[in-house]
Amino acid sequence: MESHALDTSLRWIVLVPLLGAALNGLLLRRMPRRAAGLLACAAVGASFLLSVAAVVRLAGLEPHHRLLADSLGTWLDIAGVRVELGFAMDQLSAVMALVVTGVGFLIHVYSLGYMAHDPGFNRFFTYLNLFIFAMMMLVLGENLVMLFVGWEGVGLCSYLLISFWFNEEANAAAGKKAFIVNRIGDFGFLLGMFVLGAALLPHLGGGEGVFSFRTIAAHTHELAPWATAIALLLFLGATGKSAQIPLYVWLPDAMAGPTPVSALIHAATMVTAGVYMIARMNMVYVLSPTAMTVVAVVGAVTALFAATIALTQNDIKKVLAYSTVSQLGYMMLACGVGAFAAGIFHVMTHAFFKALLFLGAGSVIHAMSGEQDMRLMGGLRRKLPVTWPTFLIGTVALAGVFPFAGFFSKDEILWKAFSEGNPGLWVVGFLGAGLTAFYMMRLVVLTFFGDNRASEEVRHHVHESPATMTVPLVILAALSVVGGWLGWPHFLGGANRFEQWLAPVFEAGAGGHGADAAHGAAAHGAATHAAASTEWLLAAASLSLALLGLYAGYRAYVGRATLAGKLHAFAGGRPHRVLLNKYYVDEGYEASLVRPGYALSDRVLFRAVDTGLIDGLLVNGTALLVSITSALLRLFQNGKLRFYAYVFALGAAAFVLYLALTI
């Protein structure tokens, strides 16, 4: 018998948000707004409480048998392909479940205030609940297929929510872009799944679900020859979902949705799915050094690349969007160097402070009557007494200042990159961290310092947001401060409980990194001691860099003579322009893929194939053939009796002739 505890509450963690969405969206469409909003919040809140209860039960189990399972039965059992409609919670799912439902709940509450005057209020909360449902399905799915269903679900929900204000052409286009770019990634994901299934099926006994994570973990030996292909294809899916190079382009555009959506997508749910998936599939990834290298390099490059773009953006949400892309790069970098626990740690802390920053930005936008351009903000410190300090906490947390949450997770990643023998990746990540501090300070200065540059009318209306919005900000700010302490590292005298907690999940593959942590520093003696001094050095370096970045950002933008002007003057403004236009990547895609695609569909598919071949030759051609034939046949039906008789006689003669010749 399997050593796991049955726990039927898992299904309710997933299904309660679905129930909320169904009630709100299908049954009670005319429900008053307050009730709809509260129902949605209650659904997620219940899901959160159930998750907490489940995690408590999980923690009560013996560390190496920590697994709760629930099954609604067998979904598929065709030709040896067996898929359970099952849920499972291990240490990794537990972290994700708490983050998704917890941060998700705060975002729901915040939305009550933020969306209060929106005519699509009920629809909004239906989508939000559906989003949480899909994400929980992804996180708690017992096998890759369930994960994929959730994966597609969050894709759908992101489409619905990004183009929530669909009356604007740009919003609809952004939703479409998110959906299509993600489809490209999902194509890779599916292929990866197929390869995995094909590689695994011949080796399975009866009753084993082929895509079940436990089955995969138990058969890594058979998977080894295919690991690179599987890992890379799945990673393509992850680059789509988690907005890595080359498929990150949808995420900045996703800012078109309402701000709570940005917070939800960016912080807690969708974009972390790629990181979660790679961590979940760690037993396959560690089989392939090639794939690991690709993941690490793509992550590191994305981290730096996106950070440089964030330097020049003027839309407050766009800066945060590129920052998310960059931070996701760090998470990928962590996975790529085998530090899955550090990656998930960053997922968690990032969820706290990025949700905080987005919701704070939402609060600013709310105060500025919908203005998002930072060039028209400024001086909001005194006007927003709650938003301002919480936003500052989020900023220093993201910049990685000790002892805020971001410091622990980001430093853990950089340290792992360095200690796993990749000083190059460390340098890239290190530079990215400095840029992060800089652009975040730029954002803070442009928004909260100096004089207000908005129009008289807007300035008159500036006000702090209602309590439904500020309370989540305060809670998230608190989490952004203390959230990182779970992973207080050894070199600072902690035990890194977070890594210990996750260790059993990554033990199988990670070549014992997890085990190292689990055994604690004492087991390592001198080697650990030497490493610790290097770790001290690196941490000090990155802390100094973060502070330097913050200071530079402050100096460069405070006052009237902004750095933007100076940058503009530098080298004729060309570097600035390149950054401002995001390296022309969108334009490149437009020219190399989108426009040829349009040309192909217009000229070849539409004009040649559709109108030419199908309409012209096949449809109208058939009609033409029939009409020609009938025109010929009409000649015979002339009503002239003698002609009929003549034909008749000819026929008779032919018949006689035939008889004469054959007999």
The region of 5-13, 73-81, 217-225, 633-641 touching other proteins under the rule CB under 8 A is 633-641
Least separation in angstroms between residue 630's CB and other proteins is 14
Which one, of 188, 439, 124, 462, lies nearest residue 304 by Cα? 439
Nearer to other proteins, 641 or 659 (CB): 641
The region of 110-118, 323-331, 495-503, 635-643 touching other proteins under the rule CB under 8 A is 635-643
> Is residue 560 part of the contact set for other proteins (CB under 8 A)?
no
Q: Which of 523, 540, 625, 645 binds other proteins (CB under 8 A)?
A: 645
Nearer to other proteins, 30 or 634 (CB): 634
> Is residue 117 part of the contact set for other proteins (CB under 8 A)?
no
Nearer to other proteins, 167 or 638 (CB): 638
Say if residues 128 and 253 touch (Cβ distance below 8 Å).
no
What's the full length of the chain, in residues?
A: 663
Nearer to other proteins, 606 or 648 (CB): 648
Q: Which of 527, 572, 632, 638 binds other proteins (CB under 8 A)?
A: 638
Say if residues 375 and 355 touch (Cβ distance below 8 Å).
no
Query: Torsion angle of alpha carbons 637, 639, 643, 648, nearest 10°?
Result: 70
Least separation in angstroms between residue 620's CB and other proteins is 29
Nearer to other proteins, 493 or 639 (CB): 639
Phi, psi (5° rounding) for residue 136? Answer: -70, -35
Least separation in angstroms between residue 644's CB and other proteins is 8
Which one, of 292, 284, 297, lies nearest residue 339 by Cα? 292
Say if residues 122 and 30 touch (Cβ distance below 8 Å).
no
Q: Which of 451, 493, 639, 662 binds other proteins (CB under 8 A)?
A: 639
Say if residues 296 and 425 touch (Cβ distance below 8 Å).
yes
The C-alpha atoms of residue 513 and residue 529 are separated, in whole angstroms, by 17
Say which residue the tokens 């039960």 belong to: 57
Nearer to other proteins, 646 or 658 (CB): 646
Q: Which of 632, 642, 659, 660 binds other proteins (CB under 8 A)?
A: 642
Least separation in angstroms between residue 637's CB and other proteins is 6
Helix (H, G, I), strand (E, B) or coil at 87: strand
The region of 69-77, 111-119, 297-305, 638-646 touching other proteins under the rule CB under 8 A is 638-646
Nearer to other proteins, 73 or 636 (CB): 636
Kind of pairing, strands 5-6 and 68-78? parallel
How many chain residues interact with other proteins (CB under 8 A)?
10
The region of 69-77, 331-339, 360-368, 644-652 touching other proteins under the rule CB under 8 A is 644-652
The C-alpha atoms of residue 202 and residue 196 are separated, in whole angstroms, by 11
The sign of the CA dihedral 148, 212, 327, 579 is negative
The sign of the CA dihedral 270, 275, 281, 284 is positive
Query: Torsion angle of alpha carbons 108, 113, 117, 122, nearest 10°?
Result: 20
Least separation in angstroms between residue 663's CB and other proteins is 16
Nearer to other proteins, 626 or 656 (CB): 656
The sign of the CA dihedral 122, 123, 126, 128 is negative
Cβ contacts of residue 429 below 8 Å, gap of 6+? Answer: 300, 303, 304, 330, 333, 413, 414, 417
Q: Which of 1, 632, 635, 641 binds other proteins (CB under 8 A)?
A: 641
Cβ contacts of residue 491 below 8 Å, gap of 6+? Answer: 531, 532, 535, 536, 539
The region of 94-102, 312-320, 512-520, 642-650 touching other proteins under the rule CB under 8 A is 642-650
Nearer to other proteins, 117 or 634 (CB): 634
Least separation in angstroms between residue 604's CB and other proteins is 48
> Is residue 637 part of the contact set for other proteins (CB under 8 A)?
yes
Say if residues 110 and 60 touch (Cβ distance below 8 Å).
no
What are the CA-CA distances from residue 130 to residues 3, 87, 451 (Å)?
32, 18, 42
Nearer to other proteins, 551 or 658 (CB): 658
Least separation in angstroms between residue 625's CB and other proteins is 24
The region of 28-36, 175-183, 553-561, 634-642 touching other proteins under the rule CB under 8 A is 634-642
Least separation in angstroms between residue 647's CB and other proteins is 10
Kind of pairing, strands 81-89 and 68-78? antiparallel
Nearer to other proteins, 638 or 662 (CB): 638
Query: Torsion angle of alpha carbons 351, 308, 435, 474, nearest 10°?
Result: -30
Q: Which of 117, 382, 560, 640 binds other proteins (CB under 8 A)?
A: 640
Least separation in angstroms between residue 661's CB and other proteins is 18
Least separation in angstroms between residue 649's CB and other proteins is 6
Nearer to other proteins, 117 or 640 (CB): 640
Using CB under 8 A as the binding rule, the residues of this chain from 239 to 298 that contact other proteins are: none
> Is residue 649 part of the contact set for other proteins (CB under 8 A)?
yes
Which one, of 252, 258, 261, lies nearest residue 326 by Cα? 252
Nearer to other proteins, 467 or 650 (CB): 650
Say which residue the tokens 């709650």 belong to: 386
Nearer to other proteins, 370 or 636 (CB): 636
Nearer to other proteins, 560 or 640 (CB): 640
DSSP state of 466: P
> Is residue 630 part of the contact set for other proteins (CB under 8 A)?
no
Helix or strand run (H / E) with residue 68: strand 68-78
Which one, of 116, 92, 125, 91, lies nearest residue 23 by Cα? 125
Residue 473 carries which side chain, given as an amino acid letter?
L
* Residues of the shown chain interacting with other proteins in the complex, contacts defined by CB under 8 A: 637-642, 644-646, 649
